[in-house]
Amino acid sequence: AKKTGRNQVKFFEPTMHAELAKRVRMEGDLRHAINTARIIPHYQPFVDLITEEVVGYEALARWERSDGTFVPPCDFIPLAEEAGLIVELTDQLFRTACRDALSWPAHTVLSFNISPVQLSDRLLGLRLLTILGEIGLPIHRLELEVTESAVIRDAETARIVLDQLVNAGIKIALDDFGTGYSSLSQLSDYKFDKIKIDKSFVANFENSEKQEKVVRAIIALGNGLGVTITAEGIEEQSQLTRLKSMGCHIGQGYLLGRPLAFDFTLPDAKQPERH
Ligand code: C2E
Ligand code: CA
Ligand code: CA
Ligand code: CA
């Protein structure tokens, strides 16, 4: 076995070898991080644009390494999926998020992200509902954010899984709306409770007449279908004012609150100064 091992090494370019080694190390680190609960949700508020009240918090996963740096979710969620660790990681994140949400005001919603890969897991609903029941968070306080690509990739399974969740009374938000895929067929097929206009539109609509028309159209569509419209990625007061006047219901972004560790979501905690 040693011989073949040695021979095989020759097939790898040095850079490829390094890549592979890095990946193996990262996977081990990730496994360790999950086992020691180093990956936790941070929470970003979303705000009713009319009443200016926080109506909920979105859980955003953060991996805090021992040197105090954070690994962003785009670097470890796909890895967790490929390494078969996503179920364990999600259960852990979801359990923590539900427990944290119990101490928020009773009218606030916990919004939790589900990736495309997870929507092809037929046991997803069962697991989430079991955890919800164990923690005792009422179902109406939960909302799941799914992306359009999730709905399309494995349409049949995604529909079954979504149906289970919806029938159980869980609200579903369509995340990153307007990016990548044709969206209209999904909207007529599924009963979504919320549409989140992707932050790329929010970043550009003030400088682009075309993008502004798209944002207007999405808001009109939402109003027509009775779906709540959220705009994410609001960084400027002018964006907030414009979106509100366009009839957008809910806003989220650095201007309204950054993603922060759990303590900041407690009623007596203050958000740090806005920059
Ligand atoms: P997303 O669901 O679209 O989340 C919004 C992202 O925009 C977050 O990045 C958030 O920190 C960032 N953001 C919020 N406000 C602003 C703003 O005003 N300006 C800008 N430029 N960005 C803003 P983050 O936390 O790095 O998350 C990236 C993506 O990772 C998320 O995109 C989501 O798709 C995924 N993700 C995060 N947590 C989880 C999780 O627990 N499970 C799964 N499956 N995916 C997750
Ligand atoms: Ca999201
Ligand atoms: Ca989004
Ligand atoms: Ca996204």
pLDDT digit string, tens, across residues 75-114: 999 999 999 999 999 999 999 999 999 999 999 999 999 9
CA distance 266 to 246: 31
**Mutate which of 42, 43, 89, 113 for ligand 1 pocket (most atoms within 8 A of beta carbon):** 113
Cβ contact 234:240 at 8 Å = yes
Percent of the chain, pLDDT > 90? 68
Crossing angle of the two packed helices 86-101 and 14-35, in degrees rounded to 10: 40
How sure is the predictor about 185, in pLDDT bands with cuts at 50, 70 and 90? low
Using a 6 Å cutoff on CB, does residue 60 contact ligand 1? yes
pLDDT tens digits, one per residue of 221-261: 899 989 999 999 999 999 999 999 999 999 999 999 999 99
Ligand 1 pocket check for 254: Cβ under 6 Å: yes
Could you give the maximum distance between any two Cα atoms of the chain, in Å?
Answer: 71
Cβ(170)–Cβ(204) below 8 Å: no
Mutation test residue for ligand 1: of 43, 46, 58, 60, the one with most atoms within 8 Å of CB: 60
Q: What is the pTM of this model?
A: 0.91
Complex confidence, ipTM: 0.98
92 Cβ inside 6 Å of ligand 1 = no
Q: How far apart are CA 55 and CA 262, in angstroms?
A: 16
d(CA 183, CA 190): 11
* Structure token digits, residue 66: 């021992």
Instruction: Tell me, using a 6 A CB cutoff, whether residue 110 lines ligand 1.
Output: no
Which has more pLDDT, 43 or 181? 43
Alpha carbon nearest to ligand 1 atom 27, residue: 73
Ligand nearest to the CA of 198: 3
Q: Which two tokens stand for residue 102?
A: 């119990």
Residue 136, number of CB atoms within 10 A of its CB: 9
Cβ(63)–Cβ(32) under 8 Å?
A: no
